[in-house]
Amino acid sequence: MFNRKIIKLFESRRVNLDARLRQDYVKNGIATLPCHISDYNDIISPYSVNGYETLNMEFADYLKTCVEFASPEIPIVLNITGDCLSDKEKKTIKETIRETFEYELGMVEKEEKRHTKVFILMTVGLILSGILLYFTHSLDEESRELFFIPFWFMGDTLCDYIFLTGYDIRHNRRMAGRLASIKVVFSDKYEEPNYTDDDVDKLYSEIEKDVKETIREDGE
């Protein structure tokens, strides 16, 4: 029996992700996520009480996973199919999806503000440490080590924030913003969307208006 080197074959496999997304999700610059349900509690947690609804975690995970695929600049339309919902339940679902991800966006904003403060403090500390190192060049090497420790610590923290932690925070910020801006529509059965240019302009205008309103509310 000869060696097929199957691992090498797996490692060499490639895929054109953008082409797959255009084929499966993205039409005319809008990503549509299909979601078929058979019951109200497929989306709203059965542990919720009236007026304090929360999302079913399995549904929330499905939504987040799907949104990850589409490029950051593409708006998301969630098409929920099924004939099991009343008008009141549809309204509740829309509000709960929006409010849930607005809460998540708020938590990301708090994290972003905390890291910004740390970034400023570390930057100031790094500058001051560098100045101290410059003016203590006449000291012996062992004494200068005391000044090198905070200098390298702050420099390492800044590099981590800029290239690693900062990237993750910005990614989470964009993700939360997209989820909070998601447009929810309902239909009896799923049909492949055919968005016209007017549909695209309308969706972008709605998102833009919504974002500006949240900015005004935050500034009050």
| Distance in angstroms (rounded) separating the CA atoms of residues 71 and 68 | 8
| Distance in angstroms (rounded) separating the CA atoms of residues 106 and 182 | 16
pLDDT digits (tens, 9 = 90+) for 128-165: 888 888 887 777 676 677 778 888 888 888 888 888 78
pTM here is 0.78
User: From the CB of residue 163, how many other CB atoms can be counted at a distance below 10 Å?
Assistant: 9
Catalogue the E-assigned strands of 37-182: 76-81
pLDDT digits (tens, 9 = 90+) for 97-106: 999 999 999 9
* 30 bridge partner residues: 27
Amino acid at 46: P
CA atoms within 13 A on the CB side of 154: 18
- pLDDT 10s per residue in the chain (220 long)? 456 678 887 888 887 767 766 666 788 889 899 999 999 999 999 999 998 999 999 999 999 988 887 777 788 999 999 889 999 999 999 999 999 999 999 998 898 888 888 888 888 988 888 888 888 777 767 667 777 888 888 888 888 888 878 888 888 888 888 898 999 999 988 888 888 999 989 998 988 888 888 877 666 5
DSSP letter at 182? -
